[in-house]
Amino acid sequence: MGFFNKQKKFEQEVMENGMQYSSFYGDSFKRLKKNKMAMFCSAILVALVFIAIFAPLIAPYDPTFQDYTAVLAEPSLAHPFGTDEYGRDILSRIIYGSRVSISIGIVAQIVASVVGVTLGSLAGYYGGAVDNVISRIMEIFQAFPDLIFAMAIMTFMGKGVLNLFIALGLLTWVRTARMIRGSVMQLKEKEYIEASRACGASTYWIIMKGLIPNCLSTIIVLVTLGIPNAIMYEASLSFLGIGIQPPTPSWGNMISAAQTFISYRPVYSITPGIAIMITVIAFNIFGDGLRDALDPKLKT
């Protein structure tokens, strides 16, 4: 055993002074921190989530409170963004609207991701007939123009928040499934997957412990970049009147209502539009930064 002791001692000396303990996510976080723009956007997102959660404490007025003395008022100290046609404070409605948009965006995307990851990994791992069937289903879903598809679903199922989730989920799962299918097809040939099979691992084990963890960075990025998409879809559907119904404030239905008054009170439609813009851009930039930080090509 003399050989091993000498070997150990040597490696210990070199390793202790040389190598630093590092993990994949630790290193990724370090890379992310260096990206100033992404960190700035993450601060914006944290602020948005904060606003959404603490809306009742932050908003100066109840969003449904109608003040008939101040209908379509100009922006003033009392109403920084003015009021809408029912005398409701626009700022408060925008703050409450963030709840709707952000929560719908996140939940819809998570639902879509779960569906997408499941179907994508099954298609990628099994290949053959399973892959054929799932791929054809994906193609059918992709063949429809997004918004029209969502409109059709909402019209068919009727209005309501749950139906909205379903419609948004059905729109976005395909992209995730496609990417995961590709990653899984590539990863399943790797030797460490073969090693697990050599130990008698079940398909469930291989997918959950071997394949998905290696796709996690792809999944995280897809979710992060998918949320602004979902927010845009929700805004569009609400704008068209089949999404979130008034009096619940949503940035989309506010813009829709503001259309009539666009020349008289432009601030009414601009402010929710800016809110959407800031949210979507912040998510996109942060998502890009996250993808660069997690990019496995940077680490062997």
Partner 1 sequence: MAEKILEVKNLKTYFRTDAGLTKAVNDVSFSVERGKTLGIVGESGCGKSITSLSIMGLVETPPGVIAGGEIILDGQDLLKKTDDEMRAIRGKKIAMIFQEPMTSLNPVFTIGQQLVEALMLHEKITKQQAKEKAVEMLKLVRIPLAEKRFNEYPHQLSGGMRQRVMIAMALCCDPELLICDEPTTALDVTIQAQILELINELKEKTGASVMMITHDLGVIAEVADDVMVMYAGKVVEHATCDQIFDKPMHPYTYGLMNCIPKLDGDDTKELSVIEGMVPSFDDMPKGCAFCPRCPEAMDICREKMPKLAWTEGREVRCFKYTEEWEENVE
Partner 2 sequence: MSEVMNQAPLLEVRNLRKLFQAKSSFFAKEKTFIKAVDDVSFTLMPQETLGVVGESGCGKSTMGRSVLRLIQPTSGEIFYKGQDFMKASGNELRKMRADMQIIFQDPYASLNPRMTIGEVITEPLNIQKRYASKEEAREQVLKVMEVVGLNPKYYNRYPHEFSGGQRQRIGIARAIVLKPSLVVCDEPVSALDVSIQSQVLNLLRRLQSSMGMAYIFISHNLSVIKHISDRVMVMYLGHVVEMGEKKDLFDNPSHPYTQALLSAIPMPERHSTRKKIILQGDLPSPANPPSGCIFHTRCFMAQDICSTQSPELKDLGNGHMCACHFCGQCKETQ
User: Which residues are near partner 2 by CB under 8 A?
Assistant: 3-4, 7-8, 11-12, 15, 19, 21-24, 190-192, 194-201, 205, 209-210, 213-214, 216, 296, 299-300
Residue 6 contact among partner 1, partner 2, none, beta carbon within 5 to 8 Å by kind? partner 1
Contact predicate 130/124, CB 8 Å: no
Residues in the chain: 300
Nearer Cβ to partner 1, position 13 or 74?
13
Nearer Cβ to partner 2, position 19 or 143?
19
Nearer Cβ to partner 2, position 135 or 196?
196
Q: Report how many residues bind partner 1 under the rule CB under 8 A.
A: 10
Nearer Cβ to partner 1, position 11 or 62?
11
Residue 201 contact among partner 2, partner 1, none, beta carbon within 5 to 8 Å by kind? partner 2
Contacts of 268 (CB under 8 A, 6+ apart): 72, 81, 82, 84, 90, 254, 257, 258, 261, 262
Tokens standing for residue 98: 């963030």
Residue type, 287: G
Which of 1, 12, 14, 217 is in the footprint of partner 1 by CB under 8 A? 14
List the interface residues with partner 1, window 156-175 (CB under 8 A). none
Measured distance CA(36)–CA(44) in Å, rounded: 13
Smallest CA-to-CA distance from 215 within 26, 223, 109 is with 223
Q: Can residue 23 be called a binding residue for partner 1 (CB under 8 A)? A: no
Nearer Cβ to partner 2, position 32 or 232?
32
End-to-end CA distance of the chain: 33
Residue type, 61: Y
Residue 10 contact among partner 2, partner 1, none, beta carbon within 5 to 8 Å by kind? partner 1
266-294 vs 36-53: helix axis angle to the nearest 10?
A: 130
Part in contact with partner 1 (CB under 8 A); list of ranges 13-21, 103-111, 162-170, 264-272: 13-21
Residue 281 contact among partner 2, partner 1, none, beta carbon within 5 to 8 Å by kind? none
Measured distance CA(118)–CA(284) in Å, rounded: 25
Part in contact with partner 1 (CB under 8 A); list of ranges 15-23, 85-93, 113-121, 258-266: 15-23
Measured distance CA(121)–CA(56) in Å, rounded: 42
Q: Can residue 11 be called a binding residue for partner 1 (CB under 8 A)? A: yes
Nearer Cβ to partner 2, position 10 or 50?
10
Contact predicate 104/276, CB 8 Å: no
Q: Can residue 7 be called a binding residue for partner 1 (CB under 8 A)? A: yes
Contact predicate 49/279, CB 8 Å: no
Tokens 């068919």 map to which residue?
156
Query: Binding residues for partner 1, per CB under 8 A?
Result: 3, 6-7, 10-11, 13-14, 17-19
